[in-house]
Amino acid sequence: MELSSKKKLHALSLAEKIQVLELLDESKMSQSEVARRFQVSQPQISRICKNKEKLLADWCSGTANRERKRKRESKYSGIDEALLCWYHIARAKAWDVTGPMLLHKAKELADIMGQDFVPSIGWLVRWKRRNNVGFGARHVLAPSFPPEPPPPGLTSQAQLPLSLKDFSPEDVFGCAELPLLYRAVPGNLGACDQVQVLLCANSRGTEKRRVLLGGLQAAPRCFFGVRSEALPASYHPDLVVPWLEWLAQFDRDMGQQGRQVALLLAARVVEGLAGLPGLYHV
């Protein structure tokens, strides 16, 4: 009698596991239906659900290899994590990190931790693959736009308060946009690694408007399963700040509070607006 062979395990990559979670959350498919679609067993889908938070954290961190199908824990996980932390610090300081430097630092960390460990080239290759680390040319982060000259007629900073003498400090607001390079380490910077941030507060610092983030994705994966109302900031699916909408909402909010306020904007922003909305309280 011929014995049936064991069913071969089909491992899913991190990207595929995130797709599984999205299908279960958005399409309301059952675990069995999702298992058939990905040609895996239902218990595998169940384990993915149990590890949902860990998988999402790995996905959002950007350091995990998203195409890797199994995540095996290193025997020297403490050294692994400590070296990765040192690596990010070194790249943030624009150091030229090389393989020999990493091997030397790994040995140094092992000695500090009291572990009998001699890192090899093979271990370093596996460490780089595990942590999605690559060596490349350093990037010099240039500003998104050049410094602005002072507006015509404003020859001294001392003149600015004179134009605001009719407003209390609580009613003088400043607003600016800036790029946030949240993975800004040399050699690992792309367009998807930037969001645009809009900040606004009064001159006392006692009132801060809700932060507005602008990104490239309409539905970022890091927002998966999270209600937008629970976030500490608003999100706009575009790197271009919607100034007209933001100003109109700011004006309405000030009107509801019965206030007349001053709002300081960069000259570049004002010039870029095709037409200011009807503002009655700003």
pLDDT tens-digit series, residues 19-73: 788 777 767 778 888 888 888 888 888 888 888 777 766 655 555 554 554 555 5
Q: Does the model's pTM come out above 0.85? A: no
Structure confidence at residue 277 as a pLDDT band (50, 70, 90): low
The answer to whether 13 touches 71, Cβ cutoff 8 Å, is no
Tell me what pLDDT residue 149 has.
Answer: 56
Tell me what pLDDT residue 208 has.
Answer: 92
Residue 80: Cβ within 10 Å count: 19
Model confidence pLDDT, tens digit, residues 83-114: 888 888 777 777 778 888 888 888 888 888 88
DSSP one-letter string for 206-229: S-BPPEEEE-S-SS-GGGTT--GG
Tell me what pLDDT residue 193 has.
Answer: 66
Counting beta carbons within 10 angstroms of the beta carbon of residue 132, is it exposed (0 to 12), middle (13 to 18) or buried (19 or more)?
middle
Tell me what pLDDT residue 140 has.
Answer: 42
User: Which domains are delineated in the chain?
Assistant: 14-61 (1.10.10), 77-130 (1.10.10.60), 157-272 (no CATH)
Integer Cα distance of 239 and 179 in angstroms: 9
Proportion of the chain above pLDDT 70, given as a percent? 71
**Mean pLDDT, residues 126-134:** 76
Model confidence pLDDT, tens digit, residues 145-197: 455 555 554 444 445 565 677 888 899 999 988 888 776 655 554 445 678 88
Structure confidence at residue 200 as a pLDDT band (50, 70, 90): very high
**Mean pLDDT, residues 69-79:** 64
Tell me what pLDDT residue 209 has.
Answer: 92
Enter the DSSP assignment of 162. Answer: G
Integer Cα distance of 58 and 48 in angstroms: 13
Tell me what pLDDT residue 137 has.
Answer: 43
Q: Is residue 143 scored above 70 in pLDDT? A: no
Model confidence pLDDT, tens digit, residues 237-264: 776 778 888 888 999 999 999 999 988 8
For residue 270, what are its two tokens?
A: 């004002």
Contacts of 19 (CB under 8 A, 6+ apart): none
